[in-house]
């Protein structure tokens, strides 16, 4: 019985679509904004120094700072900013 349940879980996981970590392709030199969920703030713009898989390194006041790619959006993308504002307002309205 346990084997059947395990096989079903694996099959379901393999069929579900993985959400991409980021919708944007960023290169060194790009201007980005950063959303920090703990502070519920969007800061920036900052300059991208390096990109390694899901890791983004930005220049913040002369220091190299690491962020996950899911926290970063291009400065020129207004729809991304609106999405983050909507997500902030939804999460802050929870009791």
pLDDT score for 37 = 82
In the prediction, which pLDDT does 93 show? 46
State residue 10's pLDDT score: 86
Q: Which domains does the chain have, with CATH numbers?
A: 22-92 (2.30.30)
This prediction has a pTM of 0.57
Which residues on neighbouring strands pair with residue 31, listed in sequence order? 47
β partners of residue 51 = 56
Contact 72, 32 (CB under 8 A): yes
Return the pLDDT at 22: 59
Do strands 63-68 and 72-74 pair parallel, antiparallel, or not at all (unpaired)?
unpaired
pLDDT value of position 2: 83
Residues of the chain with pLDDT under 50: 79-81, 83-95
Six-digit token pair at 33? 């904004």
């Amino acid at each position: 019985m346990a084997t059947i349940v395990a096989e079903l879980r694996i099959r379901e996981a393999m069929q579900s679509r993985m959400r991409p970590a980021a919708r944007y392709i960023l290169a060194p030199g790009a201007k980005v904004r950063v959303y920090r969920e703990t502070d519920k703030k969007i800061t920036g713009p900052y300059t991208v120094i390096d990109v390694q898989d899901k890791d983004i390194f930005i220049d913040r006041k002369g220091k190299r700072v690491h962020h996950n790619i899911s926290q970063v959006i291009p400065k020129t993308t207004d729809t991304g900013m609106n999405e983050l504002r909507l997500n902030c307002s939804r999460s802050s309205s929870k009791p």
